[in-house]
Amino acid sequence: MTDWQILWAERGVFVDGFLNTLQLFGLGTVLGFLLGCLIVFGLEGAKAPLRIALRIFIDAMRLLPFLVLAYLFYYGLPSLGIRLSSWEAGVSALVLYHGAYFAEILRGARVTLPPGQVEAAVAQGFSMPRMFLRLILPQLVLKSRGVIGNQLIILLKDTAFLVIITVRELTAAANGLSGTYFIPMQAFIVVIGFYWIISIALEQAVNWMGRSGAKRGFKNA
């Protein structure tokens, strides 16, 4: 059997790892994005203490490598009596870390939003949550779609860090196979191909969002 035939015979391992990576990526994206929206909503009308706390949280996450946060959740929290599985620790680190980045991206777009619309909405009697959901958030997302797309690619690449805290994802699959059959090069070429495909798909999705956004009059990505 050639090396490639061995890999084909073991394709289930790759598919499992791929699905696990996709699952981590999907959970991280959806929950992280929700967290980011919540933080921006909190910054919107909040009083000083909450606002300062949120800013400190965002800046702290932006200064920290992702793996250190994952270490903190997986190795650090048990000494406080909170024991997470590697998968739970990985997902919560992804959500918290990238939630802060999404919040920072949306906040950057919020600063450039003209205040007239908000004032008009308040004058029309919009309640705060309703105004945020209907008026502010859609514009922020459309405005910052390009940066959000980049962040999604960074999120995808950060899922690979979780192999270090023993999560069974795509990189772990290649690592395991190369350990079993001593064919590291081919195994990793396959995995890098997988990551490449997801990234290209993400880039296409961002381009598509750009076109559909341009139709609605948001030209600057």
Partner 1 sequence: MDSTAWSMLLNGAWVTLWISGVSIALGVSLGLIIALIRSAKIPFVHQVLGLYISIARATPLVTLVLFIFLSAPTLGINMDRSIAGILALTLNTTAFNAEIWRSAFNNFSNDQREAALAVGMTPGVYFRRIMLPQIVITSLPSLVNEMSFLIKGSPAIAVIGIVDLTRVTNRISAVTYEPLPPILAAGALYMVIIAALVWFQRVAECKANRLAM
Residues 187 to 216: which contact partner 1 by CB under 8 A? 188-189, 191-192, 195-196, 198-200
* Residue 75, C-beta contacts closer than 8 angstroms, at least 6 positions apart: 165
The separation between CA 30 and the C-alpha centre of its own chain, rounded to angstroms, equals 8
Cβ contact 162:70 at 8 Å: yes
Taking CB under 8 A as the binding criterion, the range among 12-20, 35-43, 66-74, 103-111 that sits at the site for partner 1 is: 66-74
Owner of token pair 């929700």: 34
Write the DSSP symbol of residue 69.
Answer: H
Question: Which one, 106 or 183, has the nearer CB to partner 1?
Answer: 183
Taking the C-alpha atoms of residue 2 and residue 147, their distance in angstroms, rounded to an integer, is 43
Question: Which one, 38 or 202, has the nearer CB to partner 1?
Answer: 202
Fill in the per-residue mask, 152 to 181: x = in contact with partner 1 (CB under 8 A), - = not in contact.
-x--xxxxxx-xx-----xx--xx--x---
Q: Does the protein bind partner 1 through residue 76 (CB under 8 A)?
A: yes
* Residue 102, C-beta contacts closer than 8 angstroms, at least 6 positions apart: 32, 33, 35, 36, 37, 148, 151
Q: Does the protein bind partner 1 through residue 100 (CB under 8 A)?
A: no
Q: Does the protein bind partner 1 through residue 78 (CB under 8 A)?
A: yes
Q: Return the residue of 14, 18, 33, 66 that touches partner 1, per CB under 8 A.
A: 66
Taking the C-alpha atoms of residue 160 and residue 166, their distance in angstroms, rounded to an integer, is 10
Q: Which residue ranges make up the site for partner 1 (CB under 8 A)? A: 60, 63-69, 71-72, 75-80, 153, 156-161, 163-164, 170-171, 174-175, 178, 182-185, 188-189, 191-192, 195-196, 198-200
